[in-house]
Amino acid sequence: MGDQKLTPPCHHLSPTNVRDLFDSLDAFLFDCDGVIWKGDTLIDGVPQTLEMLRSKGKKLVFVTNNSTKSRRQYAQKFQSLGISVTEEEIFSSSFAAAMYLKVNKFPPEKKVYVIGGEGILEELKLAGFTGIGGPEDAKKIVQLKANTLFEHDKSVGAVVVGLDQYINYYKLQYGTLCIRENPGCIFIATNRDATGNMTDLQEWPGAGCMVAAICGSTEKEPIVVGKPSTFLMDFLQKKYNIPTSKMCMVGDRLDTDILFGQNAGCTTLLVLSGVTSQSTLQDPSNQIQPDYYTNQISDILDLMKS
Amino acid sequence: MGDQKLTPPCHHLSPTNVRDLFDSLDAFLFDCDGVIWKGDTLIDGVPQTLEMLRSKGKKLVFVTNNSTKSRRQYAQKFQSLGISVTEEEIFSSSFAAAMYLKVNKFPPEKKVYVIGGEGILEELKLAGFTGIGGPEDAKKIVQLKANTLFEHDKSVGAVVVGLDQYINYYKLQYGTLCIRENPGCIFIATNRDATGNMTDLQEWPGAGCMVAAICGSTEKEPIVVGKPSTFLMDFLQKKYNIPTSKMCMVGDRLDTDILFGQNAGCTTLLVLSGVTSQSTLQDPSNQIQPDYYTNQISDILDLMKS
């Protein structure tokens, strides 16, 4: 692209611009991994920042692509880290998968095969659907012999694929057969993040890895329900009745968080406490520019004080 | 595309055209899965057909994308099915991966991480390289705890990905870290077949599934050494000194076998004994037309007699 700028450069969050930004907003939407915590470790200053925002009447919402937990399990995780968040404030991609089926009137008598964690199964159940697979299939081993016939449930009408630390050939064959052979079976991806901060020390393959595997064997593309898809925005707006122009999406990932915010018409703030470095942000090859960027969310608190 | 035909329609092999085809050829290149056998079961009439071709002085070569076996192991499989084939007549994608490293002067002091079967490790060893991973990592389990640091060998300079029935999160993280973090580390795919006839009753996820998974987590594209890449054709031609115009590629897959034959300038013959049906071949959406098609390779024998 050379010198041609398609989008204006983003602003470093500063004592000068933070007050105007703050006053223009009614809600803050936060990504979790790399923004609130890394693995199981809270990022510095998070509780105080969230407390200040709440005390000023701002709505707080947590929008996460991590599908391994349900909303209930997320609320527990916040609790265990000393932060009070309700289930209703959490919009996870596991919840998004269940809501996608609900909105699209998925027949409740059909089953859903899950490649992913317990969180997806729990959300499916809460929405009235029957999920199979998931953790239960973690230890299944395929024996390939001449007369092996791998049987799959013909009543599976959807396959949901998310991050799965226990991915194996059994699950890949099961999901592939459902998508290829069950008429009308839909293929849902919770998200396509390449990697995630599964621990605080390094990145690990994300749902994008398992989703790509199923794309590779089925030669089909999924419906993505997590960020950057704005599927969840309708639920969020119905719940809070706030226009997206009064929302700020805060995240550490350009291709999911910031793109989601931009797709939805929100103000966007990139934090450098997760996967994106300042050099990646400012690299000429990067096409996604947030409105603002800063090191971590506690900068909002510090800059407001100064 | 509608009525617009980009390529001439292919001919059904018949008593009228089989003799001219036969006389114009010096070598037959056969794919194995779906052409010679399905799983561990020989396809009808294969031994007699191969015997007839040899008796008429035709060179026989076997070009397979299945990387789970080495050339030696393939020769054993032919033997066990009652067909005499030498290692030198076999060009497998496991061999192709090792040859790619050799031709590109891969430093022998560097290691190669393998996602795939024993066959790749054996071919690497024969070519003088040190392979790690593969079957040895089949039972490794990742424990994701706060302070887990997943260590990988910094001397890995190439990751080779093939079909792996024992794919797991450990291997995915290992391969991903090598490609993302080891400077200059190359990413080689034995092939990208979506599925394969791993057993005679149904198809299973192929190397394309594992390769896509690594593409998903690394956000990089591999170097493909198996079909439809013509990388192996140089070796084949040096060995047999036959122009590709005198060769016929016989396979069951349009996007690998037939495309490989066309890319190399061979005559192409599709057999319907594997993954491609006549309706797929004749579907208007199919862009790859072989020169000829027939049900199975023994038709050559039968048609020559009639």
pLDDT of B300 over the 70 cut: yes
Does residue B75 carry a pLDDT above 60?
Answer: yes
Q: How confident is the model at residue B39 (pLDDT cuts 50, 70, 90)?
A: confident
Q: Which of A137, A190, A199 to mutate to probe the B interface, most B CBs <10 Å?
A: A199
Is B33 among the residues known to form the active site? yes
* A200 Cα to chain B: minimum distance (Å): 6
Query: Is residue A157 a contact partner of residue A112, using CB atoms and an 8 Å limit?
Result: yes
Structural domains in chain B plus CATH codes: 11-65+228-305 (3.40.50.1000), 106-224 (3.40.50.1000)
Q: How far apart are CA B76 and CA B134, in angstroms?
A: 21
Q: Give me the mean pLDDT over the B104-122 stretch.
A: 98
Place of tokens 């060769």: B247
| Residue A3 predicted with pLDDT over 50 | no
Q: Given the cut 0.90, state whether the ipTM is greater than it.
A: yes
- Marked catalytic residue, from B31, B164, B255, B257: B31
A33 labelled as ligand-binding? yes
pLDDT at B2 over 70: no
Confidence band of B171 (pLDDT split at 50, 70, 90): very high
User: Among A166, A192, A200, whose Cβ lies nearest the Cβ of B169?
Assistant: A166
pLDDT grade, residue B305 (50/70/90)?
confident
Average pLDDT, stretch B105-126? 98
Task: Work out the pLDDT band at B8, boundaries 50, 70, 90.
Answer: low
B26 catalytic, yes or no?
no
Please state, for a pLDDT cut of 90, what percent of chain A lies above it.
Answer: 87
- Asked if B167 lies within 8 A of A166 by C-beta distance, the reply is no
Residues contacting A163, CB < 8 A, separation 6+ = A66, A67, A68, A116, A117, A190, A193, A196, A206, A207, A210
Res. B133: pLDDT tops 70: yes
Q: Considering only CB atoms, which chain B residues are within 8 Å of A164?
A: 169
Identify from A145, A168, A209 which residue to disrupt to test chain B contact, counting B C-beta atoms within 10 A and taking the largest count: A209
Q: What confidence score (pLDDT) does residue A2 get?
A: 42
What confidence score (pLDDT) does residue B4 get?
A: 47
In the block, tokens 């909105």 appear at: A103
Residues in B touching A208 (Cβ below 8 Å): 216-217
**Measured CA distances, B39 to A66, A146, B164, B201, B232 (Å):** 39, 6, 16, 8, 24
Average pLDDT score over chain B: 94
Dihedral sign computed on CA atoms, order A122, A68, B211, B289: positive
Nearest by CB to B216, which of A173, A211, A218?
A: A211
A200/B146 CB distance under 8 A: yes
Q: Say if residue A234 carries a ligand binding annotation.
A: no
At B235, is the pLDDT very low, low, confident or very high (cuts 50, 70, 90)? confident
Pick the range with the lowest mean pLDDT from A3-7, A208-212, B8-12: A3-7
pLDDT digits (tens, 9 = 90+) for A162-189: 999 999 999 999 999 999 999 999 999 9
pLDDT for the residue A17: 95
Checking if the pLDDT of B86 tops 50, the result is yes
Gap between the Cα atoms of A179 and A218, Å rounded:
7
* pLDDT for A7: 55
State yes or no: pLDDT of A15 exceeds 90.
yes
Q: By percentage, how much of chain B surpasses pLDDT 90?
A: 87
pLDDT of A221 strictly over 70: yes
Are B169 and A172 inside 8 Å of each other by CB? Answer: no
pLDDT tens for each residue of B190-204: 999 999 878 878 889
Q: How far is B45 from chain A (nearest CA, A)?
A: 19
Q: What is the mean pLDDT of residues B268-295?
A: 96
Interface of A with B (CB under 8 A): 39-41, 142, 144-150, 164-169, 172-173, 176-177, 192, 194-195, 198-202, 204-206, 208-219
- Give chain A positions within 8 Å (CB) of B148: 199, 201
Tell me the pLDDT band of B35, cut-offs 50, 70 and 90: very high
Residue B60: its pLDDT value, please?
A: 97
